Amino acid sequence: MDERRYIRVILPLKLDWEPCYWTDDAGLTAGMRVSVLFAGRRYVGVVSAVDVAPETEISRIRQAGERVARLPDVSEREIAFWRCVAEYYLCSVGEVYKAAYPTFKIEQEETGARNRERLEARLAAYQEKMQRARKEETRVRYKAVIDRIEQELHPERSAMTAPEAPSLTPAQQTVYQAIKEAFPKTTLLEGVTGSGKTEVYLKLARETLEAGRSVLFLVPEIALSRQLEERIRSVFPDVLLFHSAVSPVRKREIAAILRKGRPAIVLGTRSALFLPHHDLGLIVVDEEHDTSYKQDAPAPRYNGRDTAIMLAGIHGAQVVLGSATPSLESLYNAENGRFAHVVLKERFYHGEQPEVRVIDTVAERKKRGMVGHLSRKLLFEIDRVLKEGGQAVVLRARRSYAPSLQCEECGTIVKCPHCNVPLSYHLDGRMVCHHCGYTAPYTGVCAHCGGALQQLGAGTQRIEEELAAVFPDARVARLDSDTPDADESRIIHAFAAGEIDILVGTQIVTKGFDFSGLSLVAVIQADSLLGQQDFRADERAWQLLEQFRGRSGRRGKQGLLLIQTREPDHPVLARLQDGGDAPTLLAERRLFFYPPYSRLVKVIVRDANEKRLEALSRALAGELATVAPNVTGPYAPVVDRLAGESIRHIRLLLPRDRALTATKKRIAALLAGFEKDRKYPGHIVIDVDPV
């Protein structure tokens, strides 16, 4: 009698099919982990189906290896979620599995399983010792060891507390009730900065936990999670923090807690979506407009906001998308009735909206109104704020000391040898490429003609230096991606505590922080935000400036936003001053058939051989035009060479109709066929809904 059972297995690979294996393990079920050989290498796969009918010749089907019993099973909900993500973002289920369970995570799970076995043996030994102990002090000592081991074995025994409900203002209570009534629709909570959206989130979270279900809070970046963590922990002391800076051991503990199925509250970045959630009742996506929710590489190139909605659908959870400046996609969905839309118009402390003033740096230079890269008008306002005991934050969207270097003799811009971008000068004597990480020592001499190198522009380091020179008694600090992680947390806490007077930084300083002493925010060289070559440039600039504006003037005081620019009449600045909002931008998008009125798919082709790239990308665009109605390209992006490879983009605008899913599948099939027919694997990437 043939006892073979045929199974399908998901492997952490880019495969558009799930390999079939046979097993004689009668107890094997979907979700279990098995060790299998594929193409000569051993992988830990997930059984996706059992007792299937083989679709290939039986003699070619290999036997699966042993069940990896020490690794926890993957739930049906997790696999269903992976399939949703893979289908939408046109990647393989295996690539989603790899994102959810990367190699290091599997290794950590295996190590954890072995550690657990050792701990259980140690626990049994101490329990036996305690039973044999005659002296009370010896039993107390053994009991303390046993308690520590049990806490390590069962971290989930720290149960969620039942906190008091946050008190809401009448406006917050109205919004809260509207969100409750909107379920099962996703709710877009549009609340001006400082309106108290977090209090609404916390009350919803409390009710969800009381109902025996779990909560997931998503934030776009780690830095933002640290301040929100304090707010949540004040109500939910047992909140589980999950992001890339959390240790692998702690991540494993969090996964174990969630697998136990007890109600829990998780605060994390987009990767927290792939935790083994048991029964989610609420997902909050804070700052839903933020582009940091988008995964650029590797696949799946997903957007955390949209993927959260997929996950909620699988769990039957409520979704709340919060922002002071909602994305146009979310506003479009609200306009069409897919989302409920509720608005918090008043600030929690009833303060006025911060004033906006634009400073024309061209005019200021003509009348000697500039001190370095800072206008005298800005310096006057900073001085006023400091004398009043307030704080200021200055945004410069470029880190380093000087964003580029140019030879005074021959005019050569010093560029990265691997990327078509200028090298930035840093105060530690390095020239750095902020795209591939290439570094070279700064000599001050042109490598082409020997002329002197001139530093162009000003990054955060130079702005910090200039401010410190003008205000020698002020405490000035800098926050950008060059800031070490440990210092980042310290600086944020120090500024919140009033221990820093002026904070200089890149876009990170515009995020959803709540600093009670902040009364002035300023933007240096705003033109770098306004002059980007992208149809989303105005939306991004408006969102960033509006968000930054809202950081000032908390606790009932009116704040001030100063913007230094060479383009004082730019439409985004006029909209900001006049109180214009996103609907105007939506009308512009409709006119040109841009998202959200269409779906955007970007095909990226990279090759070290530029001639081959040019020829094959043109051929690919021609083939894509047979399945997509609106194809642009191939064209070179602003940064057209990275890490030694030239780049071409092909843009596809697809109608939002019933044929959308089928069209996307045809595009994916065409790309796979093109790679195979032209023997061009590894050069083409597909990005659905790029930002």
CATH 3.40.1440.60 is held by the domain 5-101:
yes
Domain ranges, ordered by start, for the chain: 5-101, 106-153, 170-344, 355-401+458-581, 598-688
The pairing of beta strand 33-38 with beta strand 374-375: unpaired
pLDDT > 70? residue 566: yes
Mean pLDDT of 135-157: 75
Percent of the chain with pLDDT over 90: 73
pTM over 0.85: yes
Band (pLDDT 50/70/90 cuts) for residue 340 is: very high
The secondary structure of the chain in percent helix, strand, coil, rounded to multiples of 5, reads 40, 25, 40
Interatomic CA distance for residues 359 and 284, integer angstroms: 38
Average pLDDT over residues 382-404: 95
Which homologous superfamily is 598-688 in?
A: Multidrug efflux transporter AcrB pore domain like (3.30.70.1320)
Superfamily of domain 355-401+458-581: P-loop containing nucleotide triphosphate hydrolases (3.40.50.300)
pLDDT tens digits, 84-138? 999 999 999 999 999 999 864 555 555 556 666 677 778 888 888 888 888 888 8
Share of the chain above pLDDT 70, in %: 93
When pLDDT is averaged across residues 388-404 and rounded to a whole number, the result is 94
- Computed over every residue of the chain, the mean pLDDT equals 91
Is the distance from CB of 452 to CB of 444 less than 8 angstroms?
yes
Instruction: Tell me which residue of 365, 355, 356, 436 sits closest to 606, measured CA to CA.
Output: 436
Q: Lowest-confidence range among 304-313, 372-381, 435-444, 551-560?
A: 551-560
Which pLDDT value is given to residue 686? Answer: 97
Residues 6+ away with beta carbon under 8 Å from 422: 403, 404, 405, 413, 414, 415, 416
452-466 CB burial, b ≥16 within 10 A, e <16: ebebebbbbbbbbbb
Which positions ≥6 away from 204 have C-beta within 8 Å? 176, 179, 180, 282, 284, 318, 320
More confident site: 8 or 2:
8
- Residue 569: pLDDT band with limits 50, 70, 90: very high
Determine the average pLDDT of the residues in 337-355: 83
- Angle in degrees, 0-180, between the axes of helices 222-233 and 197-210, rounded to the nearest 10: 60
Does the pLDDT at position 456 exceed 70? yes
Does residue 670 register a pLDDT over 90?
yes
For residues 455 and 413, is the Cβ–Cβ distance under 8 A?
Answer: no
What are the residues whose beta carbons fall under 8 Å from the beta carbon of 350, sequence distance 6 or more?
Answer: 556
Fold: same for 5-101 and 170-344: no
| Per-residue pLDDT band at 165 (split at 50, 70, 90) | low
* pLDDT tens, position by position, 204-237: 999 999 999 999 999 998 877 777 888 898 899 9
Lowest mean pLDDT across 88-102, 299-313, 572-586: 572-586
Q: In the prediction, which pLDDT does 650 show?
A: 98
Looking at residue 159, its pLDDT comes to 43
Q: How confident is the model at residue 250, as a pLDDT? A: 87
Assess whether pLDDT exceeds 50 at residue 327: yes
Contact status, residue 332 vs residue 597, Cβ threshold 8 Å: yes
Q: Give 539's pLDDT tier (boundaries 50, 70, 90).
A: very high
pLDDT (tens digit per residue) in 27-63: 999 999 999 999 999 999 999 999 999 988 999 999 9
Reply yes or no on whether the pLDDT at 358 is more than 90.
yes
Task: Enter the CATH code of domain 170-344.
Answer: 3.40.50.300
Residue 154 confidence (pLDDT): 63
**130-144, 160-174, 608-622, 642-656: lowest mean pLDDT where?**
160-174
Residue 245 pLDDT grade (very low, low, confident, very high; cuts 50, 70, 90) = confident
In terms of Cβ atoms closer than 10 Å to its own Cβ (0-12, 13-18, 19+), residue 650 is buried
Q: How confident is the model at residue 362 (pLDDT cuts 50, 70, 90)?
A: very high
What CA–CA distances, in Å, run from 256 to 46, 98, 118, 277?
A: 18, 19, 17, 10
Residues 228 and 198 sit within 8 Å (Cβ to Cβ):
yes
To 10 degrees, the CA torsion angle through 654, 683, 608, 302?
Answer: 60
Residue 351 pLDDT:
63
Q: For residue 2, what pLDDT is reported?
A: 61
- What pLDDT was estimated at residue 1? 44
Contacts of 247 (CB under 8 A, 6+ apart): none
Question: Coil, strand or helix: which one is 281?
Answer: strand
